[in-house]
Chain A
Amino acid sequence: MTRRQFMAAGAMASAAWAAGCSSHRGPWESLTERQAQTLAAICDQIVPADDYPSASQAGVVTYIDRQLARHYRRHRKAYALGLEQADSIGATRCGVRLAQASPPQQLQVVMAIEQQNAAFFDLVRKHTLEGYYGSPRHGGNRDAVSWRMLGVSQPPLLGRAQYDLSKGPRS
């Protein structure tokens, strides 16, 4: 890399950082607040809370939201349609949006989504489990909570890991 390229890359990186800070879209990069709430309700049925956090508590919505702006850009439309459909199924069954339904109702709605829109459900299931059990650096699995749940320590060998696995360049 020449010095010029290096400076240009640095300038672009800091511009991107600044853009991220001044976003007017709220906390989400890809989703609307309403979409995020619906998604959280679905994710929390896939990985519900027990003595360890649920998917959304561990940051899985953040994970999916970030990836919809990056590696999963191609799935944005599927999410927009699928989440809208989830809300309409919720409205038909419970009279409210999915996020506002009671937990047993949410389970019924998510089972209905699995039946009626299997492709979308499989996508959300895959992304939720990735986010929950994958590397903390992408926003899900906050504090490596799923790894602690499974009894796999982090870092694996104290004093040997040169990297803080939760920091550094994000996806």
Chain B
Amino acid sequence: MKRVHAVIVGAGAAGGIVAKQLSSAGLTVVLLERGPWYTAADCRKDDLRNQRTTVLGNAFGPEDEGNPRVWIDARGAAHIVLPSEGSYQNNAACVGGGTLSYGAMAWRFLPQDFRMRSTYGAPEGSSLEDWPIGYDDLEPFYDQAEYEIGVSGDDSPTPFHSPRRRSLPMPPLPPNREFAILEPAAKRLGLHPFPIPMLRNSVPYNGRGPCMRCRWCVGFACEVDAKNGSQNTVIPAALATGNCELRTRSMVKEILTDNRGRARGVSYFDANGRLQEQLSDIVVVSACAIESARLLLNSKSRLFPNGLGNRYDQVGRNLQGHHYTGALGFFDFDTYDDIGPGASIAVTDYNHGTPGLCGGGLLANEFIRLPIHTLDRLPPGTPRWGPGHKQAMRAWHRRTIIVMGPTQQIPTAEGRVTLDPWVKDRWGLPVARLQGNSHPHTFEIGEVQAARAAAWLKEAGAMQTALMAGRPEIVSSGQHQAGTCRMGDDPRASVVNRYCRLHDVDNVFVIDGSVHVNNGGFNPVLTIMAIAYFASDALLRSWKGTSFRS
């Protein structure tokens, strides 16, 4: 196979952007993706089989067959888990990755999110740290993501937003009924509600139409292609340069290194299961936090016996996502208007500045619910089955609002990804083994946030509320997974430098949520995209024409 300048592993949020940036600059790129390329015709609107409700499997991968992981529970027992099970912490396996089927909230982190340790100090037992870069370093690239991928929204009603150079390229979608109910209530509480920024067209943009506001949104591919992911923006742009080749159903086995300790490419199993080698000057790992760590750990050689970039046992540590908490409110009038995406209004007043808490998180109303989501979200005391349950479904499905949000997760070094010594996937590769948990302070923040959500719902007229806050005995990661290849200046305490380059190997980059030092009190995708633009920019500035020099 022809040698190329760069191989990128994973065609998700970050991989797609890096592919476009490098191929537009004239580098030859091979983009490898383990899943297939779905289109709007694969939307299917199946309530039982999509990327959020997976009772009959994942719609956008991986399949349950041949892709296990191992989860170590709080008592140390190992469980083999399948991709459609929650403890697998799945994201997706397809072109676009999570961005094909996500809810598409497009948050910028706040400046304090990059300085968590110096703002709050690290709770004992946590691995809370500052980022080596600040908000100002990323601002231009947040802007680039918002315009190139496409974000609708308006954060001007709140003072609690990050400084921005210009407003978003699209106005917010018109408010739905939940917005109308929650907005005045938030204002009465002295909060600053505003429409959620979304990677979703509210008007025609980028050659595609606007959202048709259907019920099947988060978890589904968009039927009218109004949801903006890498699969309908940067990846087609990368392919159009003529410099980028996308190979789907290609599972990377390992990063190959030469005897001087530099990467020379990757080996991967192609769509027919044959082992191939793709040689390159640069390897970019963008496989999402769990799989990126797994690939580095699986890339063992004489010079790197513990895996690539893992000299100081840092790869796979600080696994984090978001601990979601909130409240469910029951109303004596219809709150449901059957208008998607449903999630419409947020406050960021609670992200920082609460005495005694290391951060906080946004609160927003939940995405539109399908009937299947109401089954266990009925008033406390409702019968679990029988005529009482059926009546309660009829009484409440259209009369609930959920307010919740991602709590700033306080990471620990013990929440981590390692390789399972026994279990292999369908290609014979050791699978990821997940263990540990978030720091317990995370749950304290979550409980405060849940009470705040309940107060908002009560102010909005809820007759009754039920708190949604637990202390799960499992590290949350899932679609928001991050942290496993932490960015930092100290090679002993981090995996990549501030430009996402491995400390150990100067032509290998990790560019995805793995590099997040912490994950903010926000859905992380826009930050993943901004980092992809930022790291691509740095990479291209040090690219010397025909080869990569450090």
Contact = CB atoms under 8 A, between A and B. Distances in A.
Nearest to A70: B56
A46 B386 contact: yes
B371 A133 contact: yes
A147 interface: yes
Given A134-B47, A138-B48, A48 B56 contact: no
Contacts of A47: 385, 389-390
Interface in B206-251: 212-215, 223
A48 B48 contact: no
Contact of A151 (B56, B64, B372, B398): B398
B394 A125 contact: no
A128 B223 CA distance: 28
B214 A160 contact: yes
Contacts of A134: 47-48, 55, 371-372
A152 B338 contact: yes
Nearest to B375: A129
B387 A138 contact: no
A107 B342 CA distance: 39
Given A133-B372, A138-B56, A150-B393, A125 B384 contact: yes
A137 B57 contact: no
B385 A71 contact: no
A160 B224 CA distance: 9
Contact of B387 (A50, A129, A133, A160): A50
A157 B528 CA distance: 34
A58 to B, nearest CB: 11
Interface residues of A, number: 36
A159 B375 CA distance: 29
A156 B370 CA distance: 12
Given A133-B393, A163-B45, A156 B386 contact: no
Contacts of B43: 163
Contact of A168 (B44, B212, B372): B44
Contacts of B384: 125
A115 interface: no
A160 B390 contact: no
B49 interface: yes
Contact of B371 (A71, A146, A161, A165): A146
Given A71-B57, A150-B394, A135 B212 contact: no
B385 A130 contact: no
B360 to A, nearest CB: 34
Contacts of B425: none
B44 A156 contact: no
B20 interface: no
Nearest to B336: A152
B503 interface: no
A162 interface: yes
Interface string B376-400: 0000000011110110011001100
A48 B390 contact: yes
Contact of A135 (B47, B386, B393): B47
Contacts of A150: 371, 393-394, 397-398
B489 interface: no
Interface in B320-369: 336, 338
B338 A153 contact: yes
B46 interface: yes
A45 B390 CA distance: 11
B398 A162 contact: no
A31 to B, nearest CB: 18
Nearest to B397: A150
A146 B374 CA distance: 12
A171 B56 CA distance: 8
Interface string B31-55: 0000000000001111111000001
A149 B371 CA distance: 10
B304 to A, nearest CB: 37
A135 B215 CA distance: 13
A71 B397 contact: no
A157 B212 contact: yes
Given A67-B56, A156-B214, A137 B387 contact: no
Given A45-B386, A160-B212, A163-B44, A130 B55 contact: yes
B289 to A, nearest CB: 27
Interface in B389-416: 389-390, 393-394, 397-398
Nearest to B387: A48
Contacts of A70: 56
Nearest to A137: B46
Contacts of A67: 56
Contacts of A50: 387, 390
Contacts of B64: 71
A67 B49 CA distance: 12
A129 B548 CA distance: 57
Interface string A41-68: 0000111101010000000000000010
25 contacts: A46-B385, A46-B389, A50-B390, A67-B56, A71-B56, A130-B55, A133-B47, A134-B47, A134-B55, A134-B371, A137-B46, A146-B371, A146-B393, A150-B398, A151-B397, A151-B398, A152-B215, A152-B338, A156-B215, A160-B212, A160-B214, A161-B214, A162-B223, A163-B43, A171-B49
Given A153-B338, A163-B43, 16 more contacts: A47-B390, A67-B56, A125-B384, A129-B385, A130-B55, A130-B372, A134-B372, A135-B46, A135-B47, A146-B371, A149-B393, A150-B394, A151-B397, A156-B215, A156-B338, A161-B45
Which 6 pairs across A and B sit closest by C-beta, in order of nearness?
A: A133-B371, A134-B48, A46-B385, A135-B47, A150-B397, A71-B56
